[in-house]
Structure formats: C-alpha cells, structure tokens
C-alpha cells in the first residue's frame, strides 16, 4: 500500500496525499519550506525543507581526492573542461525534458481544482478539524457540516453546495464559498430547516465554478 502523507500549515492539517501529489504541489510552488509534513511511518512532523527530494534539495558535492595521479592518456585540462561542460548541458536538457514528460503523467499536476476528504459531520473543532463522518442524522439535528480539503488553481475558484431532499426532489438550500489559490479547508454549515429535517434520503451536490464534481448522500430518520 502506497505511503500517505499529511501536511500541516498554520496548525491546520491537510491530506492524506500521495508522494506524486506532493511532488506536483512542490513543482507548482504550493508547498513552502515552513510547511510541515508527516507520513504513516514517521513519529514526528518535519519541515518540508528537510524532506528529501521534495523541494529540489541537492546532495552536497563530494570532497575532491587529493594526490590523484593523472593517467598517461588523459586529455588536457582545457579539453576536459569543455567535455564536462557539454555533458552537464546535455544532462540539464535531458532532465528538463524528462520533467516535462513525467510531470504531466503525475496525478494532480494539471492546474485544476482538486478535492479530498469529503466529510459530513456533526462537529468542527477550533482547528477546523471535522469530527466523525456520519451518513445518518435525526429529524431534530440542529446543524450539520460538510468539510473538504481543496486545492484551488486560482483566486477565481468558487465552490458551491446544493442540498436536496430526494424524496420530493426538493432543494432545501445552497451555499457558496470563494477560495484562495492553493490549499484550504472548505467548511459548509447547514442549520436545521425551520420545520425540522423531513425524514428520507438527501444528497449534497458539490459544484466548482458551476460544474458538478461530486455528490454526497445521507439519510434523515
């Protein structure tokens, strides 16, 4: 099973994400060095800057070996420098091409809206962490919350929820939330209708910029 990662920023926890998603976020400058990361095998959070191979950290150069003898058929220093420069240039070009090719194959690379951890819950704590997920509520439940971790591609992203009582195909309410670019936690609070929750089946349609992207269902009894 692939290792899952979580990210902590300003005391808020996002994720889980795959390593491929983290690499894609890093390539798009959506992860700061001050963000903290942790996977299932780590006991403590580490700054993103200390996670190997994530933010482009390079290994330290090796120490030069002293008193190394020059082979008899060695090329001159000038020729060697020219060859080395050519090889380095070739490697750099190849690395760029490989990055372009493979990064487009990684999930989450596309500059598009992403949503994870869609949760219907009865409570949200002070750190905006959702409580236990529920799929059934009571007719007198005072309020419910819909929570999701989202990545917005730009500052013009609007996420909307439409709450529908399926038994009568009746829309009981909508909410909209304008997102900032990057990571955030979207939380929608829906209070009990004035007449209470009618018993039956419900669905919540989630839209991004008026395009339906997901549906969550629950029951009232």
Q: 152 by DSSP, 3-state: which?
A: strand
Q: What is the CATH number of the domain that holds 194?
A: 2.60.40.10
**70: which 2 tokens?**
């020059």
Asked whether residue 100 falls in the same domain as residue 120, the answer is no
Asked whether residue 15 falls in the same domain as residue 39, the answer is yes
Write the DSSP string, 3-14. --EEEEETTEEE
Give the CA distances from residue 185 to residues 51, 63, 159, 211, in Å, rounded to whole numbers and listed in that order. Answer: 24, 46, 11, 19
**94: which 2 tokens?**
């190849």
**115: which 2 tokens?**
């949503």
Asked whether residue 77 falls in the same domain as residue 101, the answer is yes
Asked whether residue 88 falls in the same domain as residue 139, the answer is no
Distance CA 79, CA 101 (A): 33
Asked whether residue 188 falls in the same domain as residue 93, the answer is no
Owning domain of residue 195? 114-220
Asked whether residue 73 falls in the same domain as residue 164, the answer is no
Asked whether residue 38 falls in the same domain as residue 81, the answer is no
For 32, left (φ over 0), alpha (ψ -120 to 50), or beta? beta
Let me know the angle formed at the C-alpha of 128 by 125 and 133, rounded to the nearest 5 degrees: 75
Asked whether residue 98 falls in the same domain as residue 160, the answer is no
Distance CA 128, CA 185 (A): 8
Asked whether residue 140 falls in the same domain as residue 174, the answer is yes
pLDDT tens for residues 124-169?
A: 999 999 999 999 999 999 999 999 999 998 888 999 999 999 999 9
Q: 198 by DSSP, 3-state: which?
A: coil
Per-residue pLDDT of the chain (221 residues; tens, 9 = 90+): 678 999 999 888 998 999 989 898 988 888 988 899 999 889 999 999 999 889 865 433 333 434 444 444 444 566 777 788 788 878 977 876 776 555 444 444 446 889 999 999 999 999 999 999 999 999 999 999 999 999 998 888 999 999 999 999 999 999 999 998 888 899 999 999 888 899 999 999 999 999 999 999 999 99
pTM of the model: 0.53
Distance CA 104, CA 169 (A): 41
Q: Is residue 58 part of a domain?
A: no
Distance CA 81, CA 83 (A): 5
Distance CA 54, CA 139 (A): 48
Asked whether residue 103 falls in the same domain as residue 118, the answer is no
Number of domains in the chain: 3
Q: Is residue 78 part of a domain?
A: yes
Asked whether residue 205 falls in the same domain as residue 168, the answer is yes
Distance CA 206, CA 216 (A): 8
Q: Is residue 57 part of a domain?
A: no
Element (H, E) at 184: strand 182-191
Asked whether residue 140 falls in the same domain as residue 124, the answer is yes
């Amino acid at each position: 099973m692939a290792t899952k990662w979580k990210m902590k920023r300003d005391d808020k926890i996002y994720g889980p994400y795959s390593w491929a998603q983290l690499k894609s976020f890093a390539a798009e400058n959506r992860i700061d060095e001050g963000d903290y990361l942790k996977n299932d095998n780590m006991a403590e959070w580490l700054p993103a800057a200390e996670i190997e191979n994530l933010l482009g950290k390079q290994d330290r150069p090796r120490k030069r070996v002293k008193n190394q003898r020059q082979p008899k058929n060695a090329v001159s220093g000038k020729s060697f420098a020219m060859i080395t420069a050519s090889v380095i240039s070739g490697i750099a070009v190849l690395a760029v091409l490989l990055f372009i090719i493979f990064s487009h194959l990684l999930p989450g690379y596309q500059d598009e809206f992403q949503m994870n951890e869609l949760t219907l819950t009865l409570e949200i704590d002070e750190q905006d962490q959702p409580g236990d997920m529920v799929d059934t509520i009571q007719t007198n439940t005072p309020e419910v919350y819909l929570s999701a971790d989202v990545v917005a591609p730009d500052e013009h992203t609007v996420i909307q929820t439409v709450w529908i009582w399926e038994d009568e195909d009746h829309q009981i309410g909508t909410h909209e939330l304008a997102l900032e670019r990057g990571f955030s936690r979207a939380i929608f609070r829906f209070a009990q209708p004035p007449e209470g929750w009618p018993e039956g089946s419900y669905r919540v349609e989630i839209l991004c910029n008026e395009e339906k992207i997901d549906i969550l269902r629950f029951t009232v009894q």
